[in-house]
Structure 1
């Protein structure tokens, strides 16, 4: 169990998911967490789902926590950083999951503290997230280990250079939407061929989940796993032929590229 007190500035869905993960895994105890939010509904939901306390006051969280998770909307981050900078210390580690908030911005706003920037994704809500994180200049190796272990309570977490977080955004940040599209399309195909919608969607979703788990647990290249399913002259190669004709692989590569470029563009604006 972590000896650190963890605070959340913002008690929305992602903050709640991470709080549930650290509690359910035993990484931190319920009483070691505190969250602040200006919206009463968010505070009530956080308390109900985690059992931890909440407050309206951001500085209450700062005073109580060693590690402060910044989980606010990008448009209010500037005001929040200004408020926190008045009482932040060198003992504080700030972990930002705010979209587009660069380490330089965090470090300039609160130069006395250490900072880590995280790009999470929405499946963290069901403890199957895929996150990338980058450490600021003052962050230590212990900070990196702490953040990785904390994020791994809700899925996979990889330490990457900050300039690659835009790629993480294009891949795992936006990726769930691509997968939802694939699940819907596979389900539509099965409905076209006569399978009821509920069964079609369940089978499509479970198929993608199972295939993904095979990649992660076997360590085999996806191409090798694909070949193991593909018999000469069989059903799978016939379906794969249609995917190749439709340019599926190129389309998905283009999607990641487009989302990455958009992330870079938004980062410059922010």
Structure 2
């Protein structure tokens, strides 16, 4: 399925769906008029309508008029939405892309009741700035369709192809991970305020420092410890601070938090059922 002249339906016009739609257009591969966003309260999509996107509360109609369907809804909404669109789903025409947490390709195919092609993707909220880290899985998908989906998400950040069984892990590390890193920046801001900076200045300094740290790793393809070594001197202030954090469980807390989120992500759809 080429992106040329293909109609897209994004079922779920929330923050993620809106950001993805804007990114697809900004990349120059899709036109706003070829993308339909759905939401129960279409008034919340008035801004998108004014930008040329199609908006509707009719999921079934959106699928009928599309070639590529992106599921951008909550796990607890999925079954009802799939039941609504199943009748309008054509396995020969439609490609489904699911960014629904904890839902497998098999779950979607079984619920629709047709052998439709499904690719899973897990972006994060940095998609709004086209800085997402998106994991993609689609072992049963065609090479052409995998390339198409990768192209879509590369328009809004970086992508990596993984095995489907790792998708809930990707949710914890990349999607939930945004919140984890933000919380660490907040903590650094609080520390900065305690040692004398105004809160706004401390936040700006902490955020830019965190951005710089990540940029070092990505630019030089380096390991964190290599970069840490460059700023830790014998009996220095950096190693003293690092050791104090480790004594209080900094790394352990992050690891446990990621693991807990992964377990929870696995349960979200199952518990609803």
TM-score, structure 1 length as denominator? 0.92
* CA displacement at 1:19 relative to structure 2: 0.7
Match of 1:146 in 2: 148
Question: What RMSD over aligned residues (CA atoms) do the two structures have, in Å?
Answer: 1.8
* CA displacement at 1:101 relative to structure 2: 2.1
* CA displacement at 1:32 relative to structure 2: 2.2
Unaligned runs of 5+ in 1: none
Match of 2:15 in 1: 13
User: Would you say 1:125 and 2:128 are equivalent positions?
Assistant: yes
* CA displacement at 1:40 relative to structure 2: 2.0
Once residues 133 and 42 of structure 2 are traced to their aligned partners in structure 1, the CA distance between those partners, rounded to angstroms, is: 29
Once residues 43 and 33 of structure 2 are traced to their aligned partners in structure 1, the CA distance between those partners, rounded to angstroms, is: 21
Unaligned runs of 5+ in 2: none
Match of 1:60 in 2: 61
Once residues 252 and 176 of structure 2 are traced to their aligned partners in structure 1, the CA distance between those partners, rounded to angstroms, is: 17
The answer to whether the 8 A contact 1:6-1:69 is kept is yes
The answer to whether the 8 A contact 1:170-1:260 is kept is yes
User: In structure 2, the residue corresponding to 1:117 is in which secondary structure?
Assistant: strand
Please list, as runs of the form range in 1=range in 2, the aligned pairs for 1:64-83 lying within 5 A after superposition.
64-83=65-84
**Deviation per residue, 1:76-115 (Å, 9 max, x gap):** 2212112211121121001111222221111112323210
* CA displacement at 1:201 relative to structure 2: 0.6
* CA displacement at 1:13 relative to structure 2: 0.9
Please list, as runs of the form range in 1=range in 2, the aligned pairs for 1:164-179 lying within 5 A after superposition.
164-179=166-181
Once residues 229 and 257 of structure 1 are traced to their aligned partners in structure 2, the CA distance between those partners, rounded to angstroms, is: 29
Once residues 214 and 200 of structure 1 are traced to their aligned partners in structure 2, the CA distance between those partners, rounded to angstroms, is: 21
Match of 1:30 in 2: 32
* CA displacement at 1:136 relative to structure 2: 5.5
Match of 1:259 in 2: 261
Once residues 45 and 257 of structure 1 are traced to their aligned partners in structure 2, the CA distance between those partners, rounded to angstroms, is: 38
Counterpart selection for 1:95 from 94, 97, 103 = 97
**Deviation per residue, 1:61-84 (Å, 9 max, x gap):** 223221111112322221211221
User: In structure 2, the residue corresponding to 1:203 is in which secondary structure?
Assistant: helix
Counterpart selection for 2:227 from 225, 228, 243 = 225
Relative to structure 1, the CA distance from residue 51 to residue 215 in structure 2 (aligned partners, 3 Å threshold; closer, same or farther) is farther
**Deviation per residue, 1:18-42 (Å, 9 max, x gap):** 0111111213222221222221233
TM-score, structure 2 length as denominator? 0.91
* CA displacement at 1:243 relative to structure 2: 2.0
User: In structure 1, the residue corresponding to 2:133 is in which secondary structure?
Assistant: strand
User: In structure 1, the residue corresponding to 2:155 is in which secondary structure?
Assistant: helix
